[in-house]
Structure 1
């Protein structure tokens, strides 16, 4: 079952995080920006309030939380209610898909990736942004998961786990990027993204669908 109750009840509190931690938020956007195409039809899976889809030009978003979808719609995103494991779109509907801090909330990452691959056109791009469980911030989130309204039921993944999920899902990995090398409390300045993984808490992986062409 999708874990929407905290987001329905505390949507304003969740949205306010991006204002309180603006430098971290902008750092994440800058890490994602080179990998999200400027053209083509895009979908964000787990769009939330549209904090990533809107500035990155991703026109369509899906989320199980109606309250969060209202916020995304207000930011100019075309929204649909639904889950990551059951996307209400036809095959080959999108040129690229974006998934940001959503992987840890879905019931089945494998099913989500299968659906992403289904709705992407052959050669379509998948961009995933996530908190690396093995980073200092990821370990802190994991240690205090029970204290968080939003992350209590989350399952964080390491970069190695995400790599395996993506490859097993029928994608070919093209590139990695990372940011937020400092603890969140010390992130008062925007951090430039760096290639690779293993040092930053927020990691981005760019992959391409290997769907066979008929």
Structure 2
């Protein structure tokens, strides 16, 4: 992937989420989609993200909620596939709790995928909140006097 991105003119920095190779307070926005469940230590990865995020910066995290139809579906089939067997599915409440512990504010969630994975026939529009949808997007803002300042 990195070689393909470089060939397309993108700047690539290889690293590990739990030990980011960036200066403190160097990003305005951090986006983690469908990856947090694959990190060896997702809580440490969020701590690292907080450190490289500028005060007032935003983090957006997309997860397949462990406590959802899709979460139960994939959890019950972990041994069948490489992706789901390596994933440690997380809940929206768990990720939000970590963000609160790290000093983030304005934590909001929206969700989609409300039907069983085998019964989805069309795009399902997102709704505010969490608890009924399988895919959750969680956003939060780093405080000006919070972690890493």
Please report the TM-score for the alignment, with normalisation by the length of structure 2. 0.88
Equivalence for 1:114: 47
Query: Matched residues in 1 for 2:6 and 2:23: separation?
Result: 22
Query: Matched residues in 2 for 1:180 and 1:88: separation?
Result: 34
- Gap regions ≥5 residues in structure 2: none
Query: Matched residues in 2 for 1:187 and 1:211: separation?
Result: 42
* Relative contact order, higher structure (CA 8 A, sep 6+): 2
- After superposition, the Cα gap between the structure-2 partners of 1:70 and 1:180, relative to the gap in structure 1 and judged at 3 Å, is farther
Aligned residues: 147
The structure 2 residue matched to 1:200, chosen from 110, 123, 133, is 133
Q: CA shift at 1:77, angstroms?
A: 4.6
- After superposition, the Cα gap between the structure-2 partners of 1:165 and 1:77, relative to the gap in structure 1 and judged at 3 Å, is farther
Query: Matched residues in 1 for 2:105 and 2:94: separation?
Result: 15
Query: Matched residues in 2 for 1:161 and 1:95: separation?
Result: 24
Secondary structure, counterpart of 1:122 in structure 2: strand
The structure 2 residue matched to 1:98, chosen from 19, 31, 40, is 31
- Contact 1:132–1:156 (8 Å) recurs in 2: yes
- After superposition, the Cα gap between the structure-2 partners of 1:72 and 1:200, relative to the gap in structure 1 and judged at 3 Å, is farther
Query: Matched residues in 2 for 1:70 and 1:142: separation?
Result: 33
Query: Matched residues in 1 for 2:75 and 2:7: separation?
Result: 32
Equivalence for 2:103: 170
Query: Matched residues in 2 for 1:71 and 1:188: separation?
Result: 33
Deviates more, 1:169-178 or 1:155-164: 169-178
Matched, 1:131 2:61: no
- Gap regions ≥5 residues in structure 1: 1-67
Root-mean-square deviation (Å): 1.9
Query: Matched residues in 2 for 1:199 and 1:71: separation?
Result: 37
Please report the TM-score for the alignment, with normalisation by the length of structure 1. 0.63
